[in-house]
């Protein structure tokens, strides 16, 4: 039996200036099917989905939903045809309730009476049917990231979506939340919905998708049933070459470059502070910090970055106690800081690549007597773009136009070029594709082998275990002893992450 696809994209082409973001891409989706859209950052996944959803108008090609062509450039038409999108960055109003967020935009403003009782019953029924537990009257601002995502999915379901597009839905989720999401997706497929799942986490794609379509440089380079392939083959398709896990040579530990001596930091709002943390970072080693999100990683990262100061205890750099401590002092002390949020902390979106490249060094290296040396700044940016393979139209491009991976490469170049002695890498590969991940990891290992002391903070235990010479676990602001590479299993670390084993365990 031949069933017509519910969604068919035909020869979609989209150019931005000289860049061809989508080059004659065709894709079809059948009823009850999960298709994974795979590709590195900048491969054209997001552009394609924006065209499908009417946010962009394609230069060529057609979109058909349930056999009917969609008029280009009309998101409402896509919505009406039953296409729902869950964006990577949520589009919810924090100060409204879950129910209000779902209803928002579904009815004309001037119609009196929202008939909330009916709506609430329907939302509750949907959340029951699809395993999306969330309280309809909770304020969205108080919800966790996982819950917010459920609200986004409910929003799409409430509008009778038959096709769900999820843009990197697991990038923000814990493993448990990811599992719950996959259960929901299976329920949805069971009810005849069709799903496009954008990701670059291959094990998830293998786990949840029936078929994978791989994009590279705006073209479809492969389309395979997940049953007929494996992770390695997919990864090779994505980056165009076989992915090799990093080879880690044995470390050659040197002197202690950064010491936290019995440091306690203030509790900032709901963020956990550090509680009497003692930690040594040695030259030539990578120290991994494992832990469940929100257990003091932010405080440790801010402390090493110079953003906050110890409330009690001391910081020592290369043996000397630190007295005055600000971001500028931290940079001056030779600390390379890769912040957790590259969009809002690491870069200034409307600054050019050049302006972003000198953000830390403008006073010391690119200005003399208060006058900027833009020629030197531009040359520095061009050097980073070359050396770190930042894909961009040029140093005068505003950085907001770059993909996350390329943004991260620029940050890497900015902090690594001066030859730092200490490197703080807070979630350095979150949201990046395989090619970029491999690249960032290899750069960190290179820096280690050149004698830098690296502090790697990550919520991805695999990453921590693969790279770290020594692992500490952080829980409720307390730090575990250091465990040498290979001495702990995932399960053992997991116990520490859950708070077991600490001396002052409550």
Partner 1 sequence: MRLEPIANPSVLRRLGLPASALLATIAVASGLAAVAGADPLATLGLIVKGAAGSRFAALETLNRATPLIFTGLAVAVAFRARLWNIGAEAQLYAGAIMAVLLGTGALPGAVALPAMALAAMVAGALVLLGPVLLKTRFGVDEVVTTLLFNFIMLLFVSYLLEGPLKDPMGMGWPKSAALAKEARLPRIVDGLRLHWGFGLALIAALTVWVIERRTAFGYEMRAVGLNPRAARFAGVPVNAVLVKTALLSGGLAALAGFSEVAGLKGHLTLDLSPGFGYTGIVVAMLALLNPLAVVPAALFVAGVFVGADSMSRAAGVPTYIADMLLASSLLFMVLAILLVRFRVVRG
Pair 291, 498: CB distance under 8 Å = no
Token code pair at residue 121: 């019953």
Is residue 363 at the binding interface for partner 1, with CB under 8 A as the rule? yes
Dihedral through CA 383, CA 388, CA 394, CA 399, nearest 10?
-120
Is residue 362 at the binding interface for partner 1, with CB under 8 A as the rule? yes
Token code pair at residue 255: 């002197």
Which of 65, 67, 63 has the alpha carbon at shortest distance from 9?
63
Which of 81, 331, 410, 434 touches partner 1 by CB under 8 A?
331
| Nearest distance in Å: CB 95, partner 1 | 20
| Nearest distance in Å: CB 114, partner 1 | 24
Size of the site for partner 1 (CB under 8 A): 40
Which of 173, 256, 307, 322 touches partner 1 by CB under 8 A?
307
Token code pair at residue 21: 């973001």
Is residue 458 at the binding interface for partner 1, with CB under 8 A as the rule? no
Q: Which of residues 65-84 bind partner 1 (CB under 8 A)?
A: 71, 73-77
* Residue whose CB is less far from partner 1, 157 or 308: 308
Entry field: residues in the chain? 506
Which of 436, 329, 344 has the alpha carbon at shortest distance from 391?
436
Point out which span in 120-128, 187-195, 249-257, 354-362 binds partner 1 (CB under 8 A): 354-362
The Cα–Cα gap between 303 and 271 comes to 13
Is residue 271 at the binding interface for partner 1, with CB under 8 A as the rule? no
| Nearest distance in Å: CB 174, partner 1 | 25
Which of 327, 418, 451, 499 touches partner 1 by CB under 8 A?
327
- Phi, psi (5° rounding) for residue 43? -80, -15
Which of 251, 306, 395, 435 touches partner 1 by CB under 8 A?
306
Is residue 56 at the binding interface for partner 1, with CB under 8 A as the rule? yes
| Nearest distance in Å: CB 423, partner 1 | 16
Q: How many CB atoms lie within 10 A of CB 186?
A: 15
Is residue 433 at the binding interface for partner 1, with CB under 8 A as the rule? no
- Angle in degrees, 0-180, between the axes of helices 231-239 and 434-449, rounded to the nearest 10: 90
* Residue 99 Cα distances to 67, 320, 372, angstroms: 33, 56, 52
Which residues on adjacent β-strands are paired with residue 271? 268
Interaction site with partner 1 (CB under 8 A): 16-17, 54-57, 71, 73-77, 305-307, 326-328, 330-331, 337, 339, 344-351, 355, 359-360, 362-363, 367, 370-372, 374
């Amino acid at each position: 039996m031949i069933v017509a696809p519910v969604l068919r994209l035909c020869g979609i082409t989209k150019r931005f200036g000289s860049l061809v973001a989508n080059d004659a891409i065709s894709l079809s989706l059948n009823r009850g099917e999960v298709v994974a859209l795979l590709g590195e950052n900048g491969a054209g996944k997001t552009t394609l989905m924006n065209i499908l959803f009417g946010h962009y108008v394609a230069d060529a090609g057609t979109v058909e939903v349930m056999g009917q062509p969609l008029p280009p450039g009309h998101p409402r038409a896509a919505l009406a045809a039953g296409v729902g999108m869950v964006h990577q960055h949520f589009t919810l109003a924090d100060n409204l309730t879950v129910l209000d967020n779902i209803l928002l935009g579904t009815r004309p403003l001037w119609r009196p009476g929202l008939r909330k009782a009916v709506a609430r019953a329907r939302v509750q029924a949907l959340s029951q049917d699809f395993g999306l537990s969330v309280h309809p009257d909770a304020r969205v601002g108080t919800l966790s990231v996982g819950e917010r995502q459920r609200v986004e999915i409910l929003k799409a379901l409430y509008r009778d979506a038959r096709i769900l597009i999820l843009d990197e839905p697991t990038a923000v989720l814990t493993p448990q939340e990811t599992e719950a999401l996959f259960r929901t997706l299976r329920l949805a497929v069971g009810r005849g919905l069709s799903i496009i799942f954008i990701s670059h986490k291959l094990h998830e794609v293998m786990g949840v998708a029936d078929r994978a379509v791989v994009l590279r440089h705006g073209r479809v380079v492969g389309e395979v049933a997940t049953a007929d392939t494996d992770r390695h083959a997919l990864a090779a398709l994505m980056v165009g070459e076989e992915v090799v896990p990093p080879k880690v040579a044995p470390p050659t530990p040197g002197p202690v470059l950064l010491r936290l001596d019995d440091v306690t930091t203030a509790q900032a709002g709901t963020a956990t502070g550090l509680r009497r943390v003692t930690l040594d970072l040695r030259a030539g080693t990578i120290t991994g910090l494992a832990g469940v999100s929100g257990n003091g990683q932010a405080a440790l990262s801010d402390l090493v970055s110079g953003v906050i100061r110890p409330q009690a205890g001391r910081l020592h750099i290369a043996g000397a106690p630190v007295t005055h401590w600000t971001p500028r002092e931290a940079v001056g002390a030779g600390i390379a800081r890769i912040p957790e949020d590259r969009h809002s902390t690491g870069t200034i979106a409307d600054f050019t690549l050049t302006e972003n490249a000198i953000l830390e060094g403008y006073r010391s290296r690119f200005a003399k007597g208060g006058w900027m040396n833009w020629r030197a700044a531009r040359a520095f940016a061009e050097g980073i773009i070359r050396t770190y393979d930042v894909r961009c139209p040029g140093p005068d491009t505003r950085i907001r136009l770059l993909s996350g991976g390329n943004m991260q490469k620029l940050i890497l170049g900015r902090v690594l070029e001066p030859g730092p002695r200490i490197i703080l890498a807070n979630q350095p590969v979150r949201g990046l594709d395989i090619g970029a991940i491999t690249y960032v990891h290899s750069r960190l290992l290179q820096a280690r082998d050149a004698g830098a002391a690296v502090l790697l903070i990550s919520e991805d235990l695999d990453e921590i275990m693969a790279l770290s010479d020594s692992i500490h676990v952080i829980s409720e602001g307390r730090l575990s002893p250091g465990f040498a590479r290979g001495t702990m299993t995932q399960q053992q670390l997991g116990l520490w992450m859950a708070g077991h084993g600490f001396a002052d365990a409550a």
